[in-house]
Structure 1
Amino acid sequence: MTGCRVDFHVKVLDEQVVKRAKARGLDALVYAPHFTRLPDVRERAERFSDDELSVIPAREVFTGDWQDRRHVLVLGLDDPVPDFITFEGAMAEFERQGAAVLVPHPTFLSVSFSASDVERYVDLIDAVETYNPKHLQLHNRRARRLARNHSIPEFGSSYAHLRGTVGEVWTAFDHDVTTEEALVEALRTGASRAVDHRTGVAHQLRRHAEMAHLGYENTYEKVDRLLLSGMEPTHPRHIAYEGRFDDVRVY
């Protein structure tokens, strides 16, 4: 393999997703579902990987509380990290583990890094997302400017919550990065890459479909049901974390 196309962030994974990814010419997907513990993400990623398509496990960690939250996309974690711990506590843990830290949908709504957050953690951030189908063009331009002002490499993803969006966006490397270790290394070393995406009416329709889905994904009621009202898998008080994050949990 001389080149490699990666869709850097998908939320869905099944046989249909794998089939679509292959049809779109992808070599790898980064799978980071909401509110799912790392061991479960790894197990499902391995189950759907084969010689044609690698599925690389990752976590999009929800830091802070519901009113002041930031999403962080992280690859190469050795130990699980829960959601809803402080932003500072999460970033310290990612640094301790030597994971690759990515900024998804920067400055978008109230769910990601601000420009000042990027400046504060510039030495820890390995890539900034500069194309996302949920973004308006002004968001993509702002993200590119943010990355380039701080000399941070870029990445693009479909951020697919719907199966049909998988493969609408990809990041191309000039070498094989189809293992977790190789992709983390490429990110940590700033390997050369290019962000690209499909165009035309079909792409615009996929973007609109994802935007329509956004409201559901960001309702307080859903998060309250999943995390705050019970002891769900990525709640920091879950027994799986053995109290390691009690000093930085926000719920």
Structure 2
Amino acid sequence: MKIDMHVHTIISSPCSNIDIHDMIDYAQWVGLDALCVTDHDTLYGARLAQEIGREKNFTVFKGMEVNTYQGDFLVFGLKEDIGEVVSAQELIGLVEAQNGVAIAAHPFRQFERALGDNIYTLKGYHAIETKNGNTPRGLNYLAEKAAVKLNLPGVGGSDAHLLQEIGMYYTEFEDSVTSEEELVKALKEGSYLAKSQGFQSDSPSWEKSYFEPFLHTKL
């Protein structure tokens, strides 16, 4: 089952221009089985997308990309917004208290909120985003190495802010996932692989010119 784990919408991520109706239609067209709306620090857009997904017979899961002072996390299984969080470890504790899942997002992206080597000292998170569509390949590779060293599963997500980015990176689950409870359970069990189906250049200059606008922007 192919799920894009990291998508932003125009509803509650001002850095995105993705309309929810277009998002769902495009996700179906590129062959995804489901996607996760992970707007910044709120479930509002995800709730709306889930309702529209039901109307279109397409599965949308609710999540958030939560910003901490140490770095960003994708979180799933929560019922309400978390609010202001000071530290990454505090966030992980809040997610665990609600039986949710915390995933280290694009940990080595070169911007001020990158987790970086903090992922080696933080405790209790469940996976690492090893394939992120808005992170250069070499920095994704560092995330893959960290996942191997920490014996954690890797997830893939497009981190889409533009419609055509949806589905270029995704997570393939061994079993069908039909509810948020099943998603949380599957993420904790680790029976999935991060995958990509898009083009990524070998040229460092291409990576720099393509990703430079994102490096100093809240994504």
Do they superpose with TM above 0.5? yes
Whose radius of gyration is greater, 1 or 2?
A: 1
Unaligned runs of 5+ in 1: 220-251
Q: Aligned match of 2:64 in 29, 54, 59?
A: 59
Distance 2:149 2:159 in 1: 24
Residue 108 of structure 1 aligns with which residue? 109
2:141 maps to 1:141: yes
Residue 160 of structure 2 aligns with which residue? 160
Q: Percent identity?
A: 25
Contact 2:20 2:49 in 1 (8 A): no
Distance 1:88 1:20 in 2: 36
Residue 4 of structure 2 aligns with which residue? 7
Distance 2:34 2:135 in 1: 22
Residue 75 of structure 1 aligns with which residue? 76
2:51 maps to 1:47: yes
- Structure 2 counterpart of 1:147, one-letter code: A
SS of structure 1 residue aligned to 2:142: helix
Q: How many residues align?
A: 204
Distance 2:209 2:27 in 1: 18
Relative to structure 1, the CA distance from residue 60 to residue 83 in structure 2 (aligned partners, 3 Å threshold; closer, same or farther) is farther
Residue 13 of structure 2 aligns with which residue? none
Distance 1:212 1:121 in 2: 28
What is the aligned-residue RMSD (CA, Å)? 2.5
Contact 1:158 1:169 in 2 (8 A): yes
SS of structure 1 residue aligned to 2:53: coil
- Structure 2 counterpart of 1:6, one-letter code: I
Unaligned runs of 5+ in 2: 10-18
Q: Which runs of 4+ in 1 moved over 6 A?
A: 207-210
Contact 1:34 1:60 in 2 (8 A): yes
The Cα of 1:184 is off from its aligned counterpart by: 0.6
TM-score by length of 1: 0.73
Q: Aligned match of 2:32 in 19, 26, 39?
A: 26
